[in-house]
């Protein structure tokens, strides 16, 4: 517990610690790094335009902290792609790249392909549905890595109606985090319970780490990523930053049930991999939820099978584009 508290004190930041843009820029240039921003999208026409315009004008033109902004789309049927192009982002349709790796769909797929499509040494992932977008979402994530060479992966957390303690929120995940993830972490990976919002969609990491991770393509991508980084490199390479508030649409409980179903698969998979619990075998990939139709209950079942991508570093096309560097 003491170690966890030490980690919390040492590795929990606030975005305001990194609001000196010139300082960040100097630091980035001094380290000779390229930084890429990936916005994974699926029908985000309502918010994508202003996310791009704001982050591009503030973090590429005013302070060239970002070297590229790319939208990786899962096949939006609204105007997401057109708006993103109009406002000057690079736009990639996930299904059109690395076809030889087979077809998979999901947010994790976009994040995985970002490693191949983007150039940065650091990749920043930001969800495309943030209504109150601000440069802090990027600066707060890259700041800890630019100022501390030991930190390789930074996770964001946000305002939730929870008590504050000395400027740092003492808890504050969403419903799935508090009811599912944190209890599971407590039982099997207690060191990770200090991550305030393990499911947040805003994080950044060094390519050198991300390329060595398996990527669940669905709901489990954030959980899998955290466990894998912790298992391979330890807790000390992970940090988290308070990004204050993040305004986005709330999910229905029913949707959260499906999300939990996917995350659990990733979790059992990690237990098998790291805790030698080979006896766990999922018997059913259909999420059963009871609904009502004309006052009659019925069971709705949805197939949710979490697939995973192998580490990008094992993909030949990737190795050709990014030849392995000596350690």
Partner 1 sequence: MQKPIDINKEWQEKITSLRDMVLGNLVMVSQITASTFKERNRSEFVLQRFKEVGLSKAYIDESDNVIGVLKGRNSSRRVVLSANLDTRFEDDVDHNVTMDFNQAKGAGIANNSLGVAALISLPDIIKRLDIQFDMDIVFAATTRAHGRGDLDGMRHFINTYPFKIDFVLNIMATNIGRVDHFCQSAVRGDVTCVVEAPEEFTSTGFEQNNAIIVLNELINSLLCIPMSNRPKISLNIGKTRGGESYSTPCPEATLNLYVRSEDDNMTEKVIESIKDCCIDIGSKNGVRLDVSFFGRYRAAGLRFSHPLVKTAIKIVRTLGFRPMVAPSNTQIAIPLSKEIPSITMGVTTGKQSSLPNDYVLLEDIPDGILQLITLINEIDKGHCDE
Q: Which of residues 236-255 bind partner 1 (CB under 8 A)?
A: 247
Give me the least distance between CB of 200 and partner 1, in Å please.
19
Q: Are 211 and 322 within 8 A, CB to CB?
A: yes
- How large is the greatest C-alpha to C-alpha distance in the chain, in angstroms? 66
Residue 79 contacts partner 1 per CB under 8 A: yes
Position among 16, 33, 45, 317 found at the interface with partner 1 (CB under 8 A): 45
Inter-CA distances, 148 with 96, 198, 251, 279, Å: 37, 21, 35, 41
Do residues 280 and 271 make contact, with C-beta atoms less than 8 angstroms apart? yes
208's enclosing H/E stretch is helix 207-210
Query: Which listed residue (41, 47, 240, 260) binds partner 1 by CB under 8 A?
Result: 47
**Binding status of residue 88 toward partner 1 by CB under 8 A:** yes
- Is residue 53 close enough to count as binding partner 1 by CB under 8 A? yes
- In the block, tokens 């979402």 appear at 137
Determine if 83 is a binding residue for partner 1 (CB under 8 A): yes
136 part of the interface to partner 1, by CB under 8 A: no
Torsion of CA 57, 61, 62, 63, to 10 degrees: 110
Give the shortest CB-77-to-partner 1 separation in angstroms. 16
* Binder among 10, 86, 275, 321 for partner 1 (CB under 8 A): 86
Minimum Å distance from CB 247 to partner 1? 6
Closest CB to partner 1 among residues 128, 229 = 128
Tell how strand 203-206 and strand 122-125 pair up.
antiparallel
Q: Nearest approach, Cβ of 25 to partner 1 (angstroms)?
A: 12
């Amino acid at each position: 517990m003491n170690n966890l508290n030490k980690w919390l004190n040492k590795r929990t930041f606030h975005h305001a610690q990194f609001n000196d843009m010139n300082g960040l820029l100097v630091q980035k240039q001094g380290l000779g790094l390229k930084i890429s921003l990936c916005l994974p999208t699926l029908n985000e026409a309502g918010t994508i335009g202003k996310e791009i315009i704001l982050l591009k004008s503030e973090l590429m033109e005013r302070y060239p902290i970002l070297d590229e902004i790319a939208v990786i789309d899962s096949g939006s049927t609204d105007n997401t792609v057109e708006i993103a192009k109009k406002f000057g982002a690079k736009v990639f349709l996930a299904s059109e790249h690395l076809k030889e790796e087979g077809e998979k769909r999901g947010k994790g797929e976009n994040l995985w392909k970002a490693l191949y499509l983007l150039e940065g040494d650091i990749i920043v992932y930001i969800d495309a549905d943030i209504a109150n977008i601000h440069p802090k979402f990027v600066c707060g994530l890259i700041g800890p890595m630019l100022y501390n060479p030991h930190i390789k992966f930074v996770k964001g957390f946000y305002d939730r109606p929870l008590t504050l303690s000395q400027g740092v929120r003492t808890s504050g995940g969403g419903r799935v985090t508090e009811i599912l993830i944190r209890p599971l972490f407590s039982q099997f990976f207690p060191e990770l319970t200090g991550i305030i919002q393990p499911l947040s969609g805003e994080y950044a990491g060094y390519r050198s780490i991300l390329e060595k991770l398996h990527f669940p393509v669905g709901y489990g991508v954030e959980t899998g990523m955290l466990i894998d980084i912790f298992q391979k490199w330890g807790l000390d390479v992970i940090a988290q930053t308070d990004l204050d508030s993040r305004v986005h649409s709330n999910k229905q409980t029913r949707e959260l049930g499906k999300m939990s179903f996917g995350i659990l698969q990733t979790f059992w998979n990690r237990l098998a991999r790291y805790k030698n619990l080979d006896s766990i075998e999922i018997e059913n990939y259909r999420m059963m939820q009871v609904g009502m139709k004309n006052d009659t209950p019925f069971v709705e079942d949805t197939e949710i099978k979490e697939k995973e991508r192998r580490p990008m570093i094992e993909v030949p096309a990737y190795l050709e584009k990014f030849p392995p560097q000596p350690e």
